[in-house]
Amino acid sequence: MLGGLARWLRAAGYDAEFARDVDDRDLIHRALRTGATLLSSDGGLFERNIIRHKTVKALFIPRELDKPGQLAFVVRELALPLRPDPRCMACGGELAEVTKDSVRHEAPARAFAACERFWRCTRCAKLLWKGSHWRRISATLDKTATG
Task: Indicate if 100 and 39 belong to the same structural domain.
Answer: no
Residue 84 predicted with pLDDT over 80 = no
Greater confidence, 84 or 64? 64
Residue 143 predicted with pLDDT over 90 = no
Show the domain range for 107. Answer: 95-146
User: Is the pTM for the entire model greater than 0.85?
Assistant: no
Is the residue at 88 inside a domain?
no
Contacts of 125 (CB under 8 A, 6+ apart): none
Number of domains in the chain: 2
How does pLDDT run across 33-79, given as a tens digit for each residue? 999 999 999 999 999 999 999 999 999 999 999 998 999 999 999 99
> Could you tell me the end-to-end alpha-carbon distance of the chain, in angstroms, rounded to an integer?
24
Is the residue at 17 inside a domain?
yes
Task: Indicate if 57 and 99 belong to the same structural domain.
Answer: no
Is the residue at 136 inside a domain?
yes
Strands (E), the chain: 38-40, 58-60, 95-98, 118-121, 127-129
Task: Indicate if 124 and 60 belong to the same structural domain.
Answer: no
Is the residue at 118 inside a domain?
yes
Where does the pLDDT of residue 147 fall: very low under 50, low under 70, confident under 90, or very high at 90 and above?
low
Task: Indicate if 7 and 50 belong to the same structural domain.
Answer: yes
Q: State percent of the chain over pLDDT 90.
A: 72
Is the residue at 86 inside a domain?
no
Give the mean model confidence (pLDDT) for residues 93-121: 96
- Which of 30, 48, 77 finishes a domain? 77
pLDDT at 112: 96
Task: Indicate if 7 and 69 belong to the same structural domain.
Answer: yes
Contacts of 71 (CB under 8 A, 6+ apart): 5, 8, 9, 12, 140, 144
- Which of 44, 77, 110 finishes a domain? 77
Amino acid at 78: L
Task: Indicate if 17 and 63 belong to the same structural domain.
Answer: yes
Task: Indicate if 134 and 99 belong to the same structural domain.
Answer: yes
